[in-house]
Amino acid sequence: MKVLVTGAAGQLGSDVVSLFRKVGHTVIACDRNLLDITDEAACLMTLNEHKPEAVIHCAGFTAVDLAEQEVDAAYAVNATGTRNMVLASERVGAKFCYISTDYVFDGNSESPYHEYDNTNPQTIYGKSKRAGEILVQSLSSAYFIVRTSWVYGMHGKNFVKTMLQLAEERPVINVVNDQKGSPTYTVDLVGFLLELIQTEKYGIYHTSNTESCTWYEFAKAIFVELESTSKKRYSVRVNPCTTEEFPLPARRPRNSIMDHLSIRTNGLTDLRPWREGLRDFLRDFSSTSKG
């Protein structure tokens, strides 16, 4: 299959490109230097030139706190840019896969969110990503909306890398213990996309590694798993704190756990538990760092 990937140099997009190529797909990798998704004419020209069978739209304005200040920029990328890519995909008859987020929910639910729960984003990032979802649903005749959460991988900045860096610099790290969700390893997410994109089981999917934890529990697990997969020992102490003790410009959801209803009802392969993914990531990350 010929697949065009936006945001191809990003954390998720990098793994989409490499893993899709590894299994034999023809991949057109478009980063922001090759394709400005806010330019409608450029989107049409690029898709007309390559005529992909599927588009995986990983590009996005993902700086959650910065979005609170740069509102127009967030919407230009997450809403208008997504619209441009959808219209261009429709023109060439390509399936469209939009990567979305748990931030489309308010995080106040006592139970996991399923795909058809009402959305209620509380941040500019969440609102702009929800706007992108609405445009996809309105304009695409063959779409997958894949909401994910707490993503980390080998490329770019993420929570796991931040914890490892802070452990080198500080004796104590305070991590919030009243926000819960499901960490998602990019490699596992891409594995699901590989299966999904070859079907016509269109719709909304919640896709994260299974099982859940708080950010504090995630941080603790990072160091426990690292010690079991490498000889490196960290003397850092990880302490729990509250959201109020760690204020940020954009409100974080208290509950980001998503139920994988659509994966089950469509007979697709669910992701493995988050701790298994973390273990594999740390093993690969440690060996890469040594190399």
Indicate whether 226 pLDDT > 90: no
The candidate with the shortest Cα–Cα distance to 148, out of 197, 108, 185, 119, is: 185
Q: What's the rounded Cα separation, in Å, for the pair 165 and 8? A: 25
Query: Which residue in 103, 113, 125, 205 is the catalytic one?
Result: 125
Instruction: Kindly give the pairing relationship between strand 26-30 and strand 2-6.
Output: parallel
What is the C-alpha separation between 55 and 253, in angstroms, rounded?
Answer: 29
67, 250 Cβ separation under 8 angstroms: yes
Active site residue 103: no
Confidence band (pLDDT; 50, 70, 90) for 231?
A: low
CATH fold for the domain made of 2-158+183-211+256-273: Rossmann fold (3.40.50)
- pLDDT per position as a tens digit, 148-193: 999 999 999 999 999 999 998 999 999 999 999 999 999 999 999 9
How many CB atoms lie under 10 A from the CB of residue 115? Answer: 17
Size of the chain in residues: 291
β-pairing, 2-6 vs 54-57, is parallel
pLDDT one-digit tens code per residue, 120-158: 999 999 999 999 999 999 999 999 999 999 999 999 999
